[in-house]
Amino acid sequence: MRGLLKTAVEYLKKKGAEYGDVRFERVTTESIQVRDGVIEGHSTDSSSGIGIRVVFRGAWGFASTHMTTEKDALKAADQALAVAAACSSVNRTRVALAETALHVDAYATPFRIDPFSVSPEEKTGRLIEVTTEASRYKDIAVCEAFMAFSRVDKEFVSTEGAEITQSLLTSGCGYHVIAENGHDAQTRSYPDSHHGLFSTKGYELIDELDMMGSLERVTGEARALLNAKECAAGTIDVIIDGPQMALQIHESCGHPAELDRALGSEISFAGGSFLTTDRMGAYRYGSGHVNLYADPNHPGGAGSYKYDDEGVRTKRVDIVKEGVFTDYLSSREGALVIGARSNGAMRAEGWNRLPIVRMSNICIEPGEVTLSDLIADTKNGLLLSTNRSWSIDDLRLNFQFGTEIAYEIRNGKLGRIFKNPVYSGITPDFWASCDAVCSKEDWRMWGLNSCAKGEPVQVIGVGHGASPARFRGVSVGVLKTRGER
Amino acid sequence: MLLKEKILEEAGDIIRSARADSVEAVVRRESASTLRFAASSFHQGGKDTDCAVYVRALIGRKIGVSSTNSLEADGLKDCLKRALRIAEHTGREPFDFRLPGPSEYRPVESWFERTATVTEREKVDILAESFKRARASGVSQSGTLTTAEGEVAVVNSKGVSAYHPYTTARLSVVSTKGAASGHDSALGKDFSRIDIPGVMSRSVDDCLLAASPTHLEPGAYRVIFAPHAVSELLEWLSYTGFGSKNFHEGTSFLSGRLGEKVTGGLVNIHDDALDPSGMAMPFDMEGVPKRRLSIIEKGVARGVAYDSFTGAMEGARTTGHAGFPDEPEGPFPEHLFMEGGVMGLDEMMERLDRGIFVKSFHYVNGLLNPKEGLMTGMTRHGTFLVEGGKIKRAVNPMRFTDNIVKAFERIEGLSKDARVFWHHGSALSSIRAPYLLIDSFRFTS
């Protein structure tokens, strides 16, 4: 394949492209879904093709094909050039790219057990066991469990001379139970909602997550929620647990830190960002306890990779340092606009999509206090756990998130549980109210495989290293009383 | 270029060579072209050609699904092998699932030459004319223009042989000036019938109308929702409530309530893939003929969407709503219609008297409490205070949090005009929605 990619690159040069890159990807996936011991779906997919991106006459063009002969690749190259030429006739500015080091390298995700070598019986057997066992508990109407694996083998060659091979392996699993009593239905998930936890690891992840070991607690909480009171509306201190912190970071830090949003490229779909370029380096994003960073090199993150899809070597980036907004997730084109170099955030969902700025692993630095000490230090509050709903405005300011469960904290001790908790806020005010982040022992890398962005929509895996954190005076609940009008 | 013969032949070969009790092949090929623009400049443009072949093999009560994007013999052989391997080694289903047999399909007009052949240059030139006009008003434009041509086929060992070619064209544009924005969109099968200058121009008008927005206190207001806003609420109602999976899991607001009045008597929602005003298609992805499904009729719950698999699982008949075989969330209505009423927009505004006119929503989420239909979201691209039946001023985006099923009980009027929008971002599905006038809708911030 390398020869074909080089041929296409030479063709782009001959045609006068100012820049070009050719990317081949083979994506292999397997997913299994089991409900109450019944296999709802067990499928594999294999997809491969070539994507060709050019800057020609000062404009971008892209074309892709699933047919990987030289003839088809060169046809795609011509299509990409034609798109760029058409756009160039209208655009008033010319595309320019920040310089980047050129690499000839290979990288592969480290793993112990190749999930694609594990038998279908073993995989389905685990999910059947979890879901069958769960359905034995009273009031558990449904237990649905998931496993998914993907391997992306990609080759990247550019007109500038980069030649990079990467093989990225991702595994994930999880389950949820729904307790139901005819009037109400309550869900608890493990280890996270959104189909579980995803990680650039092998099948060893499935053992690490020990789904069976969590079953008694998870089913018990779902059942208990049926008889729990609604979370009352008001203003209260909250501790947000790890998986919900992951979502909070994702929506209120990761997305607004995407430079393409700040520069207006996504204004018609995903939206813009309150983190405008004039605020970089000075804007007070949160309290001094808040340190947020991107690290694509963190082992095991769902957004871990060595090179992005522009061939840029990734590095750790401080997005928020001691509460101050310091940097973006960037592309080569965007980085030049802010006088910087790309930090390697350009990723495509697959060979047939343009790379766009994406989160990698966006994490919060752990603090000093343990979760148990933080609870003990909270007089009157709520511990909110596991995301259930999410909504935020197009500048990433006004948010409202729901969680599966709230645990009351009274005089430093966990008490009753409440159902249907919701909290809301304005991003910088909310992060300014953060007065403690839990320590390393409560920190883990969470992973989602469902971050969507762009048109056509591209869905990609992202990691979020997080530990629980406390926020003072947060608005919770939306309905004052049930049925109130 | 359509590949009907090749696709049906390849799918037929898979069926004939499979050593399984029954087998199904679903093939989709699509060539799409997307132009994205921001600040009246093209920043992303691409052409994408891909195909997908899904093989579902049944051995006894074991089912294996595999897919590939190769139409070459080796790739298809490997795909079949993987599906058979899963079917041989996976767990046995406790219910008797059978592939459907052959049917007659009602033809739908779905493929238009102009959509398949329009060039990037032509599209760029048309949009550029609108950019110029918008600039004259100090407005810049961002959006997406997509055209696609493709075909889908379903073949199985029971004799199903279904084929459907299609084209689609979609324009979505946001015009901005300072903090103000306006949005409009169009969706159709025939590119030549997409009124690009009209869509672009209406978004400019809305943007200018939305200038200098001011704060409005949250609370309960009378509202008119434009069709785009209504379509987003319907999409979430469908996702959380109209599929058989949620229905049987007990999380749908329709669970256990078929035949009961669940919302206001003015609410009529159905699915009809054969209605040419939507993105019509003649069969589902199991080759079952499409037919009308009544979901809510005069406020009474009537039905939810099944495919053959969930039908077998739950002891029900398919309603012809199978998606592609690897879709994990089960069947949903893909061609939704909320039936309109008799009112014109002017009459609705007069009836509103004082309230809020919402053009679009952003980031609606219906998982707050799907059993009750509780949702939240932000208004976007035009939120207006109406007084005396006239738009008084633009207001800042507001967050709503309300029970949509209950809110639909307070519908006071529906427009006779309706618009069609993409559903699930797919070229093969759509939602048609009218304007709604609703009393006492809750905005929370």
Q: CATH number, domain at A119?
A: 3.30.2290.10
Query: For A252, phi and psi rounded to 5 degrees?
Result: -105, -5
Same domain, A48 and A103: yes
Same domain, A195 and A290: no
Over residues B24-71, the pLDDT tens digits come to 999 999 999 999 999 999 999 999 999 999 999 999 999 999 999 998
Amino acid at A209: L
Whether residue A478 and residue B376 make contact (CB cut-off 8 A), yes or no, is yes
For residue A371, give the 3-state DSSP assignment. helix
Whether residue A43 and residue B326 make contact (CB cut-off 8 A), yes or no, is yes
Name the band, by pLDDT with cuts 50, 70 and 90, for residue B428: confident
- Nearest residue to B177 via CA among B148, B137, B149: B137
- Domain termination site, one of A170, A200, A227: A227
Buried b (16+ CB within 10 A) or exposed e, B165-190: bbbbbbbbbbbbbeebbbbbbbbbbb
Same domain, B262 and B138: no
Residue with tokens 């558990």: A140
Cα dihedral across residues A266, A267, A270, A273: positive or negative: positive
Same domain, B187 and B231: no
Over residues A278-327, the pLDDT tens digits come to 999 999 999 999 999 999 999 999 999 999 999 999 999 999 999 999 99
In A, residues 225-264, which contact B (CB 8 Å cutoff)?
Answer: 264
Cα dihedral across residues A373, A374, A380, A383: positive or negative: negative
Average pLDDT, chain A: 96
Same domain, B149 and B192: yes
**CA A468 from centroid of its chain's CA atoms:** 18
Whether residue B47 and residue A63 make contact (CB cut-off 8 A), yes or no, is yes
**Mean pLDDT of the A417-424 span:** 97
Judged against a pLDDT cut of 50, whether residue A483 lies above it is answered with: no
Same domain, A188 and A280: no
Cα separation, A243 vs A219, in Å, equals 18
Same domain, A381 and A454: yes
Name the band, by pLDDT with cuts 50, 70 and 90, for residue A43: very high
DSSP A376-415: HT-SEEEEEEEEEEEEE-TTS-EEEEEEEEEEEEETTEEE
Q: What percent of chain B stands above pLDDT 90?
A: 89
Same domain, A182 and A221: yes
Judged against a pLDDT cut of 50, whether residue B380 lies above it is answered with: yes
CA angle B200, B203, B206 (to 5 degrees): 155
Amino acid at B331: P
- Domain termination site, one of B209, B235, B260: B209
- Nearest residue to A259 via CA among B397, B171, B43: B43
Other Cβ atoms less than 10 A from the Cβ of B297: the count is 15
- Domain termination site, one of B188, B209, B230: B209
Cα separation, A77 vs A20, in Å, equals 9
Of A43, A141, A402, the CB nearest to B66: A43
Using CB atoms within 10 Å of the CB of residue A99, give its burial: 0 to 12 exposed, 13 to 18 middle, 19+ buried: exposed
Cα separation, B230 vs B433, in Å, equals 6
Mutation pick from A29, A45, A231 vs chain B, by most beta carbons of B within 10 Å, is A45
Same domain, A64 and A143: yes
**Mean pLDDT of the A191-212 span:** 97
CA angle A292, A283, A342 (to 5 degrees): 60
Over residues B106-149, the pLDDT tens digits come to 999 999 999 999 999 999 999 999 999 999 999 999 999 999 99
Same domain, B184 and B313: no
| Beta strands A458-466; A469-476: pairing state | unpaired
**What share of residues in chain B are helix, strand, coil (percent, to 5)?**
25, 40, 35
**Mean pLDDT of the A157-162 span:** 98
The contacts of residue A418 (CB under 8 Å, 6+ apart) are: A228, A229, A230, A231, A232, A382, A405, A406, A407, A408
Within-domain flag for A483: no
Of B70, B367, B444, the CB nearest to A478: B444
Whether residue B91 and residue A39 make contact (CB cut-off 8 A), yes or no, is yes
Same domain, A242 and A223: no
Of B83, B173, B445, the CB nearest to A398: B445
Same domain, B175 and B225: no
Same domain, A203 and A237: no
Cα separation, A224 vs A329, in Å, equals 42
The contacts of residue A294 (CB under 8 Å, 6+ apart) are: A254, A257, A316, A317, A319, A329, A343, A345, A359, A360, A361, A362, A363
Mutation pick from A26, A69, A90, A184 vs chain B, by most beta carbons of B within 10 Å, is A90
**CA distance, residue B363 to nearest chain A CA (Å):** 5
Same domain, B164 and B249: no
Cβ neighbours of A66 in B, within 8 Å: 49-51, 69-70
- Nearest residue to A464 via CA among A165, A245, A257, A162: A245
Cα separation, B130 vs B115, in Å, equals 20
Within-domain flag for B385: yes
Number of domains in chain B: 2
Cα dihedral across residues B207, B210, B212, B217: positive or negative: negative
Within-domain flag for A481: no
Same domain, A212 and A255: no
- Domain termination site, one of B183, B209, B235: B209
Mutation pick from B249, B371, B381, B442 vs chain A, by most beta carbons of A within 10 Å, is B249
- What is the pLDDT at residue B360? 97
How many angstroms separate the Cα of A107 from the Cα of each of A150, A156, A164, A308, B320? 16, 12, 8, 12, 46
**What is the DSSP-derived secondary structure letter of residue A6?**
H
Of B65, B220, B363, the CB nearest to A43: B65
- Domain termination site, one of A209, A227, A245: A227
Contact A144, A175 (CB under 8 A): yes
**CA distance, residue A289 to nearest chain B CA (Å):** 27
How many angstroms separate the Cα of A115 from the Cα of each of A118, A150, A203, A206, B66? 5, 9, 5, 10, 16
How many residue pairs from chains A and B have C-beta atoms closer than 8 A? Answer: 253
- What is the pLDDT at residue B1? 65
A174 beta partners: A146
Same domain, B152 and B262: no
Lookup: tokens for A446: 């969470």
Same domain, A366 and A443: yes
Contact A20, A12 (CB under 8 A): yes
**Mean pLDDT of the A47-55 span:** 98
Residue with tokens 């965007």: A334
Cα separation, A126 vs A130, in Å, equals 6
Helix (H) or strand (E) holding A8, with range, is helix A2-14
Over residues A68-94, the pLDDT tens digits come to 999 999 999 999 999 999 999 999 999
Of A93, A180, A391, the CB nearest to B364: A391
Give the residue from chain A lying closest to B78, CA to CA.
A46
**Mean pLDDT of the A115-142 span:** 94
Cα separation, A131 vs A289, in Å, equals 41
Lookup: tokens for B130: 């609108």
Within-domain flag for B427: yes
Within-domain flag for B252: yes
Same domain, B163 and B256: no
Same domain, A396 and A454: yes
- What is the pLDDT at residue B71? 87
Judged against a pLDDT cut of 60, whether residue B278 lies above it is answered with: yes
Lookup: tokens for A407: 């645990």
Same domain, B98 and B225: no
Number of domains in chain A: 2
**CA distance, residue B159 to nearest chain A CA (Å):** 23
Cβ neighbours of A264 in B, within 8 Å: 38-39, 142
Cβ neighbours of A235 in B, within 8 Å: none
Within-domain flag for B195: yes
Over residues B219-257, the pLDDT tens digits come to 999 999 999 999 999 999 999 999 999 999 999 999 999
For A182, half-sphere exposure in the C-beta direction (CA atoms, 13 angstrom radius) is 0
CATH at residue B146: 3.30.2290.10
How many angstroms separate the Cα of A226 from the Cα of each of A123, A182, A252, A419? 32, 10, 31, 8
| Beta strands A59-65; A317-321: pairing state | unpaired
**Mean pLDDT of the A372-398 span:** 97
**CA distance, residue B163 to nearest chain A CA (Å):** 22
- What is the pLDDT at residue A479? 53
Query: For A7, phi and psi rounded to 5 degrees?
Result: -60, -45
**What is the DSSP-derived secondary structure letter of residue A361?**
B
In A, residues 112-141, which contact B (CB 8 Å cutoff)?
Answer: 119-121, 124-125, 128, 141
- Domain termination site, one of A201, A227, A253: A227
Within-domain flag for A394: yes
Cα separation, B42 vs A58, in Å, equals 11
For residue B83, give the 3-state DSSP assignment. helix
Answer with the residue of higher pLDDT: A465 or B4: A465
Query: For B127, phi and psi rounded to 5 degrees?
Result: -65, -40
In A, residues 176-195, which contact B (CB 8 Å cutoff)?
Answer: 178, 180, 182, 184-185, 187
Lookup: tokens for A421: 């908790």
Other Cβ atoms less than 10 A from the Cβ of B377: the count is 26
Lookup: tokens for A196: 């579980």
**CA distance, residue A356 to nearest chain B CA (Å):** 10
- What is the pLDDT at residue B326? 80
Cα separation, B37 vs A268, in Å, equals 9
- Nearest residue to A431 via CA among A245, A279, A230: A245
Within-domain flag for A219: yes
Within-domain flag for B214: no
Same domain, A213 and A239: no
Same domain, B24 and B99: yes
Buried b (16+ CB within 10 A) or exposed e, B418-438: bbbbbbeeebbbbbbbbbbbb
- Structural domain that includes position A463: 230-476
Judged against a pLDDT cut of 80, whether residue B424 lies above it is answered with: no
Omega of the bond leading into B107 within 30 degrees of 0 (cis): no
Same domain, B240 and B311: yes
Contact A388, A241 (CB under 8 A): no
Judged against a pLDDT cut of 60, whether residue A482 lies above it is answered with: no
- Nearest residue to A314 via CA among A100, A40, A163, A146: A100
Same domain, B190 and B231: no
Mutation pick from A27, A455, A475, A482 vs chain B, by most beta carbons of B within 10 Å, is A455
Query: Interface pTM (ipTM) of the complex?
Result: 0.95
- Nearest residue to B420 via CA among B169, B174, B204: B169
- Structural domain that includes position B363: 219-443
Of A63, A178, A398, the CB nearest to B399: A398
- What is the pLDDT at residue A485? 38
The torsion of the CA quartet A348, B174, B240, B337, rounded to 10 degrees, works out to -120
